[in-house]
Amino acid sequence: MDAEVLLLADRFEPAARIARFTAAHPASGGVVSFIGQVRAGDGVEVLELRHYGPLTLPGMEALAARARTRWQVDGLLVIHRTGLMSPGDPIVLVAAAARHRRDAFAAADFLMDHLKSESWFWKRERANGEWCWIEPREADFADLARWG
Amino acid sequence: MAIRLVFLGRLEDAAGAGEREVAVAPTLAAVLAGLEPELASVLSGDRIRLARNGELVAPDAAMRLADGDELAFLPPVSGG
């Protein structure tokens, strides 16, 4: 079992990352991946993600370790952007490789719910020239509660 | 002789900058008392978490501080 957890300040290519991850786990019968991207529309010009160095990456690593103890996975990939992004840019990529698909689906779902509402990121967007911080949505907390 | 304050997310707007150095004060309460009252009130909010030197701590007003400490104020997160 291996886990690659990265915090990136520059744009990345999810397809290339998934291809490499999948090739590295030939014994896994299933690979589930999720890509989050900057939503276009509502006049959004730029999205910025801030983080806090001492907590953010260690928190992501601890999250991957929790997923690993909970499901039978062969590998995990967690990539999260920081900095300035444009609509269509990837923000986050999670992938889970497992012998059987249910573990891979569940681990990826768990990782995403916790990255959204429990990891140390703060998001703001500039729309029509005005910066605005994005507050967490109630739905994000409800998603988190599913995992007990 | 200073304590470094770090303001994450929307707290940066409330503080006017992402970081600020203040004179050493003996406790968290004393640091907050030295700030603009409006900012101190925002930083004392229920949903604001606190990290001291990179580790989460309970925001105890009587917490003793030392020269060179970094206090980070962390509002609710929004990632992914």
All residues of chain B having their beta carbon less than 8 Å from the beta carbon of residue A133 are 9-10, 13, 78
CA dist A80 → A51, A71, A126, B11, B63 (Å) = 10, 22, 20, 22, 34
Assess whether pLDDT exceeds 90 at residue A24.
Answer: yes
Q: Is the pLDDT of residue A136 over 90?
A: no
Interface subset of A 98-137, CB within 8 angstroms of B: 112, 115-124, 133-136
Q: Are A48 and A83 in contact (CB under 8 A)?
A: yes
CB contact under 8 A, A50 and B55: no
Residue B78 has pLDDT above 90, yes or no: no
**The predicted structure's pLDDT at residue B31:** 96
pLDDT band of B32, cuts 50, 70, 90: very high
A12 in contact with B at a CB cutoff of 8 Å? no
Residue the block writes with tokens 């801030």: A50
How high is the ipTM of this complex?
Answer: 0.92
The answer to whether B80 contacts A133, with C-beta atoms less than 8 Å apart, is no
**Number of other residues whose CB lies within 10 A of the CB of residue A42:** 9
Per-residue confidence at B29, pLDDT binned at 50, 70, 90? very high
User: Chain B interface, mutation test: which of A120, A132, A134, A137, most B Cβ atoms within 10 Å?
Assistant: A120
Yes or no, beta carbons of A120 and B55 under 8 Å apart: no
Residue of B nearest to A55 (CA): B54
Q: What is the mean pLDDT of residues B61-77?
A: 94
Contact A136 B56 (CB under 8 A): no
d(CA B45, CA B38) in angstroms, rounded, equals 11
Confidence of residue A98 (pLDDT cuts 50, 70, 90): very high
Asked if A120's CB is within 8 angstroms of B10's CB, the reply is: no
CATH number of the domain at A2-145, out of 3.40.1280.10, 3.90.1170.40, 3.20.20.150, 3.40.50.1010?
Answer: 3.90.1170.40
Tell me which chain A residues have a C-beta less than 8 angstroms from the C-beta of B6: 52
Higher pLDDT, A147 or A70: A70
For residue A35, list its beta bridge partners.
A93
Confidence of residue B60 (pLDDT cuts 50, 70, 90): confident
pLDDT in tens, A32-68: 999 999 999 889 999 999 999 999 999 999 999 999 9
The CA–CA distances, whole Å, from A36 to A39, A93, A110, B51 equal: 9, 6, 14, 28
Choose between B35 and A136: higher pLDDT: B35
Answer whether B77 sits within 8 Å of A112, measured CB to CB.
Answer: no
Mean pLDDT, residues B13-37 taken together: 96
| pTM of the entire predicted model | 0.92
- CA dihedral for A69, A72, A74, A75, sign (positive or negative): negative
- The identity of residue B59, as a single letter, is P
pLDDT value of residue A146: 87
Each domain of chain A, given as residue ranges in start order, spans 2-145
Residue B64 per-residue DSSP state: B
pLDDT at A23: 97
Question: And the tokens for B69?
Answer: 């400490």
Query: Within a 10 A sphere around the Cβ of A47, how many other Cβ atoms?
Result: 22
